Amino acid sequence: MKKVLIIGAGAMGAAFSFPLLDNNHKVTLSEPYNTKLTNQLLKKKKFHPSLKIILPKKLLIRKFSSQLLLEKWDLVVIAVSSIGIELVKKYLNNLNKKTYLLVLTKGLKLDRKQNKIITMSEQLDSRGEKLNISVLKGPCLAKELARKVKSYTVIANKNIRVAKQIGKIISAKYYKTEYSSDVRGIEFSSAIKNIYSMVIGSGEGNNTSSALFRKSFDEMEYLIQYFNGKRETVRGLAGLGDLYVSAVGGRNSKMGEYLGKGFSFKNAKKKFMTNDTIEGADLAKEIAPYILKKINKKKIPLMTALLNAIIKNKKLKINY
């Protein structure tokens, strides 16, 4: 039995507790900044509002505090939003450096001081504390995982042995894990697919969208290599697999559909998706200053068109 702390009680953080509990681990779920959600989960039934499911009785719900990280944990899972990474980072000083950290958060950040794009794991360890960080990415919808629909994902660590040890802790009959040492490639793939799923969603029909899917894949391969990842990583679960899930359904693809119909991003957001978080749009705003200035636009015409549509709030113009 391992002692596991999940930081972030949103849909994915809560869903991630299911395979861990099925493996008979002692699992604690804690939410660092959504007090309303914490209070809801502390009630007897533990009904999760996003998953629409009652969480297992064995799952421990605790309020988040800096003291929580002083306890001895075998695995600490980071499942906050990309915005929440900076908040969690402040508390990691209390963590034993040998403790395994597993980052579920997808996203990228523009480090304006160094003028470069960094990953979520790099942001967590930006002070050079040499934390033992692995990342987990792939085509895994939280609602399906919570209902034990067979799902596949990839764990990445430069030390593949560590990735496999984490895999033994979290793998279940319905939750399969693959492994990679290409941490940077895995993180970039899982992030930029949100932008490309918007592009694919903008297609006039299935014929158009399938062509955009193919061209998106080409651009992802180029970008992953540009940012020092491995080309073959894009062909795996964090790239092609995750792109498929996002493109066939989800908030990013839905926003892409509205953009394809001629709506500006702000109008579509206000009219159709007021309360939805559009990860691809948030990412576009974050990385656009670097991408549009540093990268040859002829190499990434789809990405360029989408970034311009979001940051300039203009109609999306893609030359198929």
Would you state the pLDDT for residue 129? 67
Q: Are strands 133-137 and 3-7 parallel, antiparallel or unpaired?
A: unpaired
Would you state the pLDDT for residue 299? 96
Can you point out the beta strands (E) in the chain?
3-7, 26-30, 47-48, 53-54, 60-61, 75-78, 100-103, 108-111, 116-119, 133-137, 151-156, 175-180
Across the range 180-201, mean pLDDT stands at: 97
Find all residues with CB under 8 Å of 192, minimum gap 6, and list them.
108, 220, 223, 283, 303
List pLDDT tens digits, range 211-252. Answer: 999 999 999 999 999 999 999 999 999 999 999 999 998 899
Number of helical (H) and strand (E) elements in the chain, helices listed first: 13, 12
- What CATH code would you report for 191-312? 1.10.1040.10
- What CATH code would you report for 3-181? 3.40.50.720
Q: Are 195 and 172 in contact (CB under 8 A)?
A: no
Tokens at 283, concatenated: 């990412």
What burial class does residue 176 get, using C-beta atoms within 10 Å of its C-beta: 0-12 exposed, 13-18 middle, 19+ buried?
Answer: middle
* Whole-structure pTM value: 0.94
- Domain 3-181 shares a fold with domain 191-312: no
Distance CA 72, CA 5 (A): 10
Would you state the pLDDT for residue 96? 81
Domain boundaries, the chain: 3-181, 191-312
List pLDDT tens digits, range 96-127. Answer: 878 999 999 999 999 999 999 999 999 998 76
For 155-158, which contacts have Cβ atoms below 8 Å and span 24 or more sequence positions? 155/102, 155/179, 155/180, 156/180, 156/181, 156/182, 156/183, 156/186, 156/187, 156/238, 157/133, 157/181, 157/183, 158/183
Helix (H, G, I), strand (E, B) or coil at 178: strand
Given pLDDT bands bounded at 50, 70 and 90, which one contains residue 44?
confident
Average model confidence (pLDDT) across the chain? 94
Given pLDDT bands bounded at 50, 70 and 90, which one contains residue 130?
confident
